[in-house]
Structure 1
Amino acid sequence: MLERLLLSRFRNHRETALEGTAQFNLLVGENGAGKTNVLEAISLLSPGRGLRRAALADVPSQQGDGGFGVSAALITPGGDPVRLGTGISPERPGRRLVQVNGAESPALRLAEWLSIGWLTPAMDRLFVDSAGARRRFLDRLVLALRPDHAAHASRLESALRERNKLLSDDRAPDPRWLDAIEQQIAEAGAMVAQARADMIARLEARLLDLPEAPFARPSLAYEPGGPTEPEALAQALRESRPRERAAQRTLTGPHRDELRVMMAGKDQPAADCSTGEQKAMLIALVLAHSQLVEELAKGGQGEQRPRLLLLDEVAAHLDPFRRAALFERLREGSAQVWLTGTELAPFDAITGEAAVWRVSGGSVVREL
């Protein structure tokens, strides 16, 4: 779990320190106070662009020098403390800096130390959003179980960019160069696709064990954007060159994967369900995934890493019955939970065991 968190020149937080954390950590304050900024800072202690997917240059405080820093003291399952830090310097605002115990490290290595998942109001539209948004959501789920997934996904993305550049060039690309790039896409892409398919299969099996209430139970299906074996994917890329040269982009591969979600009780596509039903399915998904990762870790099939759940305004639109059920499910797990809200009342069931901070104007004061 995170034992201590420091934010320096991060959005509206000039200098913020949170210490004395618990399993439940509640940030309370008015809209715009800086609650979600704290969650975003935590999310940057994992690979990727965080829960807002913001450009690094947009993160530093306007009153600062163009740089920012986020650091945390982490207690691992073995009890050993680890210091994690990330940020940018004013001199090189486009380059992300990462440190583990004071030594520089690639950002992808953060996944080896900490597993972070989140649920934000912006994700309420996940089922009607683009396929790319659902792929990013799925990759975050996979990363919680497989830290090396970030490296495979990064390698795939880089190779796809290079292939698309060649395909869109006025000159005909060298077939030998395409062969080499397509081999990289095939190798990394197969790893990514197979990890996604495995996660969906495991998660679907876990969801089948859950009741329909109090949260609507989703049913999941994986639709690959191409072959999922390296040799077959490489062959498909070779055969599709004429068509994709005309389109000037790659149309075959895991970057075209789709996560299909149905509401099990109605056998209805999630995108056609009500806003409340979509929210309930999303919560059910996140909770089932958290339980799955914990069960696999206990059974020796997953990494023993601290797990965090960041839940932004998750209780705002839940009735008291569903709020109580949510808190009980969270209490049963071992993940450290960070929640935000505009008032304490919806969290009465957990305030006696939670660390509570009042957030106002980018400052944080411990209340309970």
Structure 2
Amino acid sequence: MTKLNQQHSLLKIKLLNFRSYKEVELSLCNKHVVLCGPNGSGKTNFLEAISLLMPGKGLRSSKKEHFPYIEDHDQSIHNDWAIHYTLKRGENVHEISTGVQSLTTNTKSSRRYKFDGNFLKSKDISQLISMNWITPTMHNIINGSESLRRNFFDRMISALNPSHKNRLNKLEKLSRERTKLLEKNIKDESWFSIVEQEISQLSIAIIVERQNFTAKLDEFMASPNSSFFPKVRIIWSGMVEEWLNGKPAIYAEEKMGAYLEKERLDRSFSICGPSNSVLKIWFGDFGKPSELCSTGQQKSILVSIVLAYSKLLKNKKEFSPILLLDEATAHLDEEQFQAFFDESLINSSQIWMTGTDKYIFKKLEKSANLQYFVINDSNVTQLVDL
């Protein structure tokens, strides 16, 4: 039987030609790490490198062409870049690497993973690693666009279930192909019938997965451990969600198939489904929609969601997550940050934090041992004594 809730943490990380780092290596002696330094020194770049241990675009959702190191003196770009991790996973230590190696400067190469010397698919890596993060820009998720909210939740779901991401990609491809044929006025009833049935099945599966995920988050957020963080409710709404209300998935699939056929025959290119779902977040203590909350309340909502997701990762995956906190105190005051850190210690294997002032982390040492590094112009040195 698999032992649940084991710890996994980084023992070493080495960056080669990544972002602002030509080459840097950190060896760790304590589990929890503080990276401090002035704004623009390279702290977030380093945290982003850690986040790429997980498949995807990392904590900044960056395009892959932004990852290579650029020489300052001539602005030349190193197309090849790599990150090497030494990861302690339970009682075992593993060597993991990711990056891009191109044969020529014109070659477009995808990012690959190696695990203990063997190439591994990204979906397999995602099953071995558990990670969560919070950044200053994530505040926009609470009061930003619907697409931003959907993408945020889809990323969390995909980390737990890689097939969710596969369904999203396949749905996008089929929807794009259908739209192109409609624009060209091509009439192929048999093709449209097959594709619209598949679009319906994928859409319902995606929406059901979203609803199941947020229901699990709601369970954790209904009774927060700390009074600093509010109860939060998350509700999906939309045409398909209405079809699913109290009805089996097959009913919603048939309704959506009929809808797509009618829209096509009416020469309308509109489409319902996951890309039209509306996500409402409620500040539970006051029954207030998040967009009407104060900035402080919105930040508390975000922290509540991140904490609940860490609990869910711990509950569902073999290992408690590694937690990355960029500009850790940007969202919270001193008391809230201490409560957030203490709560995170319960549900995380390792915590990485960045900040401009190293002394703001001093009080956290009553809860855990911290290892400090100073970053200045992408040069990293260990700080022995505050």
TM over 0.5: yes
State the secondary structure of the residue aligned to 1:95: coil
User: Map of 1:198-213 to 2, 5 A cutoff?
Assistant: 198-210=212-224, 213=227
Q: Which residue number in structure 2 is paired with residue 347 of structure 1?
A: 361
Residues 1:248 and 2:258 are matched in the alignment: no
State the secondary structure of the residue aligned to 2:147: helix
- Separation in 2, partners of 1:21, 1:241: 61
State the secondary structure of the residue aligned to 1:190: helix
Q: Which residue number in structure 1 is paired with residue 378 of structure 2?
A: 362
CA contact (8 A) 2:30 2:371 kept: yes
Once the two structures are TM-superposed, the CA of residue 27 in structure 1 deviates from its matched residue by 0.9
CA contact (8 A) 2:320 2:347 kept: no
Inter-CA distance 247–39: structure 2 relative to 1 (3 Å threshold): farther
**Matched residue type, 1:153:** L
- Separation in 2, partners of 1:21, 1:164: 55
Q: Which residue number in structure 2 is paired with residue 127 of structure 1?
A: 142
Inter-CA distance 119–238: structure 2 relative to 1 (3 Å threshold): same
Deviates more, 1:327-336 or 1:4-13: 327-336
State the secondary structure of the residue aligned to 2:54: coil
Per-residue displacement from partner, 1:178-222 (whole Å, max 9, x unpaired)? Answer: 233334333433332222111111111211111672123322112
CA contact (8 A) 2:86 2:96 kept: yes
Q: Which residue number in structure 2 is paired with residue 3 of structure 1?
A: 11
- Separation in 2, partners of 1:127, 1:261: 8
User: Map of 1:93-242 to 2, 5 A cutoff?
Assistant: 93=108, 95-167=110-182, 169-210=183-224, 213-224=227-238, 226=240, 229=249, 232-233=252-253, 235-242=255-262
Q: Which residue number in structure 1 is paired with residue 285 of structure 2?
A: 265
CA contact (8 A) 1:2 1:21 kept: no
- Separation in 2, partners of 1:53, 1:177: 35
Residues 1:26 and 2:34 are matched in the alignment: yes
CA contact (8 A) 2:310 2:348 kept: no
User: Map of 1:80-95 to 2, 5 A cutoff?
Assistant: 80-87=93-100, 89=102, 90-93=105-108, 95=110
**Matched residue type, 2:99:** T
Structure whose alpha-carbon radius of gyration is higher: 2
- Separation in 2, partners of 1:164, 1:99: 38
**Matched residue type, 1:293:** L
Residues 1:289 and 2:297 are matched in the alignment: no
Deviates more, 1:219-228 or 1:50-59: 219-228
- Separation in 1, partners of 2:169, 2:118: 22
**Matched residue type, 2:175:** L
Give identity over the alignment, percent.
28
Choose which of 328, 340, 347 in structure 2 pairs with 1:326.
340
Once the two structures are TM-superposed, the CA of residue 350 in structure 1 deviates from its matched residue by 2.8
Structure 2 unpaired stretches of 5+: 1-8, 72-76
Once the two structures are TM-superposed, the CA of residue 29 in structure 1 deviates from its matched residue by 0.8
Once the two structures are TM-superposed, the CA of residue 112 in structure 1 deviates from its matched residue by 1.4
- Separation in 1, partners of 2:300, 2:276: 27
Per-residue displacement from partner, 1:154-178 (whole Å, max 9, x unpaired)? Answer: 33333333333333x3232422222
Residues 1:276 and 2:296 are matched in the alignment: yes
- Separation in 1, partners of 2:31, 2:233: 30
Give me the TM-score of the superposition, normalised by structure 2: 0.84
Once the two structures are TM-superposed, the CA of residue 247 in structure 1 deviates from its matched residue by 4.7
- Separation in 2, partners of 1:334, 1:348: 20
State the secondary structure of the residue aligned to 2:234: strand
- Separation in 1, partners of 2:116, 2:320: 16
- Separation in 1, partners of 2:43, 2:254: 46
CA contact (8 A) 1:27 1:359 kept: yes
- Separation in 2, partners of 1:79, 1:54: 31
CA contact (8 A) 1:225 1:254 kept: no
Give me the TM-score of the superposition, normalised by structure 1: 0.88
Per-residue displacement from partner, 1:12-64 (whole Å, max 9, x unpaired)? Answer: 11112122154321111110111111121222222322222221112211124
